[in-house]
Structure 1
Amino acid sequence: MALHIYLFKRLFYTLPLLACAITTIFFLIHAAPGDPVDYLIGEAGASQEMIDRLRAQMGLDQPVYIRLWNYAMQVLGGNLGYSVVSGAPVLSLILDRFPATLLLMATQYTIAAIVGIGLGVLAARNPQSRTDNVITFISLASFAIPVFWLGQMMILILAYHMNWFPIQGMTNLRRGYTGIDYTLDVAYHMTLPALTLALSNLGLITRLTRSSMIQVLSQDYVKVARAKGLSERAVLLRHALRNSLLPVITVIGDSLPGLIAGAVIVETVFGWPGLGRLTLDAINSRDYPLLMGMFLFISVFVIIINLIVDLLYAVLDPRIRYQ
């Protein structure tokens, strides 16, 4: 099967998944406690006529199945609605915050993947050795530490006491940097939140790479490669590592939803202006359209990442697309 046919089939399979995501998100949001009308009115009080008018404007006076149908048609038209708090289009609010979250996630994924795979390969070369034991301890510790506690310790030690890094924010607004200075300032502010998220993923990637490499290194084709006189580096990188990456890629793709949940905490702790902070603000304000738009956007993003993972599978192992 050609790669483009495989891609078309995977895209077709995402359509019912997207429909299920829209339906599930709608019912979960509307089943949650709280009322956006009560939040808008606050403690000022309002007449029943005004409350009814606000509920009608938000469509909350209609039966739930009609609201679901209207929302699905609205989404298919590319409209995620308007925030009940700010009145701004939901899609524009999300797209304004998405680059910051994408930058943070891509950076931490790169760090976690490079360091985790490297440590896993290093540990697999000599199982049960001192090096393997040290790497195992580090990976288990990073996997067990809660991300919110790690972020607070990073701020307390590296930012507050040692004054090596800024505590919060994405850039120094007082300086007004531009060009390369702005890029360096963003990287400087991103160091602590990126390391916090990377360390939370490092342990799993390291352990999985190690176990997968140990299994692959025991295969006959690896023994044949060594018998041919290939260097240990060529055997590890050219023959063993490529076949060991399939489960690692799966873990990286499957860990994305949990990572987004962790990003909500990390972005709140470090004051990072991304989707995590926007989600928390929408939850606190009971902003139904913004919440549904956020969760739908994240769901589509996760579907796209899993599609990319499937394609990487097909590239690394052509037998998958031929089945």
Structure 2
Amino acid sequence: MAFPGLLRAAIVRRACNVLLLLLAVLVLNFSLIHLAPGDPVEALVGEMGGATPELIAQLRVQYGLDQPFIVQLMVYLGNVVQGDLGVSTYYNRPVTALVLERIGPTLLLVTSSLFSAIVLGTLLGVFSAQRRRSPLSHLVTVLSLAGFSAPVFWLGIMLILMFSVAIPILPISGMSSGDSSQGIWLYCLDVGQHLVLPALTLALIYLAFYSRLSRTSMIDVLDADYVRTARAKGLSQRQVIYKHALRNAILPVVTFAGLQFGQVLSGAVLVETVFAWPGLGTLAYESILRRDAPTLLGILFFSAMIVIAMNVFTDIVYRLVDPRIKAR
């Protein structure tokens, strides 16, 4: 009967850690954005083409910028607790609505590219680990290093030149050419065509990393005693690799996938900017240029929640993959 009590304690402890982490993220983001040079009211006035001193003072009062920094911080934290992320100074719309409009395309881009990178990278790593001295294995290693070293924006531009200029078979910008009124299947196909280049750009960078990681891990596992025992029992190479070796070799891949989700999310900012993908990255870029602090803070807050949720999901997957953790 002690197990449920330990489980509840672990859940409560994890929830407290998540809340403290979110609080630290909110305070740090608010401090860095408001200590950065520039004035959001001046940026807004510049977009308006100018304003009188009275209107500028009114805007400062409206957005709370006339208050001391600590007062602004306390008001912001209190509003976040109530579910209010403020109003965009540029769009004049609730930040939550703006972020929720853009979060779907970003999650579609990030999850599709990360899933592709993990699956293909693991398969390439397993293949090269089995033939570690073959020319094809060396070719996979060289291509992996090249892909990992390439800047994401440069890779995106190269793919645009290759598949949209030299061989014009894929669209280069936006998320779709039409709308959902053309039929759900045609719309999904249209979105899929627009997704290929940005997802491929982001996936190639991390494909290189996961192929190297899974190759190294698989080589270590293939030299283990239990793998040699499985072969001595007469099991086929396929059974040895995919039933015994891969389950242990994939553990570092699962770990780094969860830890790198935030990095992939940040890499999506450049990819979305290059391909004009209507996600959080493009919105963050526009918000930085326009000094739209409430929108930028909302994007960072939602991004932090996504990363934390992904880490929790990784813990669950890790327990499912590794029976030693599940048994504890």
What TM-score does the superposition give when structure 1 sets the normalisation length?
A: 0.95
Q: 2:244 is matched with which residue?
A: 239
Find out whether 1:167 has 2:166 as its counterpart.
Answer: no
- The alpha carbon displacement at 1:46 in A equals 3.3
- The alpha carbon displacement at 1:129 in A equals 2.0
Q: 1:155 is matched with which residue?
A: 160
Give the conservation status (yes or no) of the 8 Å contact 1:160–1:167. no
Q: 1:36 is matched with which residue?
A: 40
Letter in 2 for 1:281: E
Q: 2:17 is matched with which residue?
A: 13
Q: 1:227 is matched with which residue?
A: 232
Q: 1:284 is matched with which residue?
A: 289
- The alpha carbon displacement at 1:84 in A equals 0.8
* Alpha-carbon distance in 2 for matches of 1:64, 1:322: 49
* Alpha-carbon distance in 2 for matches of 1:220, 1:175: 56
- The alpha carbon displacement at 1:322 in A equals 5.9
Choose from 97, 106, 109 the match for 2:111: 106
Find out whether 1:305 has 2:310 as its counterpart.
Answer: yes
Q: 2:29 is matched with which residue?
A: 25
Paired residues for 1:89-100 under 5 Å: 89-100=94-105
Choose from 77, 86, 101 the match for 1:81: 86
* Alpha-carbon distance in 2 for matches of 1:67, 1:119: 51
- The alpha carbon displacement at 1:7 in A equals 4.8
- The alpha carbon displacement at 1:175 in A equals 9.9
- The alpha carbon displacement at 1:128 in A equals 2.4
Letter in 2 for 1:38: E
Find out whether 1:217 has 2:212 as its counterpart.
Answer: no
Q: How has the CA–CA distance of structure 1 residues 41 and 165 changed in structure 2, closer, same or farther, with 3 Å as cutoff?
A: same
Find out whether 1:265 has 2:259 as its counterpart.
Answer: no
Greater mean alpha carbon deviation, residues 1-10 or residues 218-227: 1-10
- The alpha carbon displacement at 1:223 in A equals 1.2
> How many aligned residue pairs are there?
323
**Per the alignment, in what secondary structure is the counterpart of residue 42 of structure 1?**
helix
Give CA deviations for 1:264-308 in whole Å, capped at 9, x if unaligned.
Answer: 111111111111111111111100100100011101111111111
Q: 1:204 is matched with which residue?
A: 209
* Alpha-carbon distance in 1 for matches of 2:165, 2:86: 41
Unaligned runs of 5+ in 2: none
* Alpha-carbon distance in 2 for matches of 1:261, 1:288: 18
* Alpha-carbon distance in 1 for matches of 2:50, 2:169: 49
Q: 1:251 is matched with which residue?
A: 256
- The alpha carbon displacement at 1:319 in A equals 3.2
CA RMSD of aligned residues (A): 1.9
Identical counterparts, % of pairs? 45
Paired residues for 1:168-187 under 5 Å: 168-173=173-178, 177-187=182-192
- The alpha carbon displacement at 1:250 in A equals 1.7
- The alpha carbon displacement at 1:9 in A equals 3.9
Letter in 1 for 2:130: R
Give the conservation status (yes or no) of the 8 Å contact 2:105–2:278. yes
What TM-score does the superposition give when structure 2 sets the normalisation length?
A: 0.93
Give the conservation status (yes or no) of the 8 Å contact 1:138–1:203. yes
Q: How has the CA–CA distance of structure 1 residues 170 and 194 changed in structure 2, closer, same or farther, with 3 Å as cutoff?
A: same
Unaligned runs of 5+ in 1: none
- The alpha carbon displacement at 1:56 in A equals 1.1
* Alpha-carbon distance in 2 for matches of 1:23, 1:89: 20
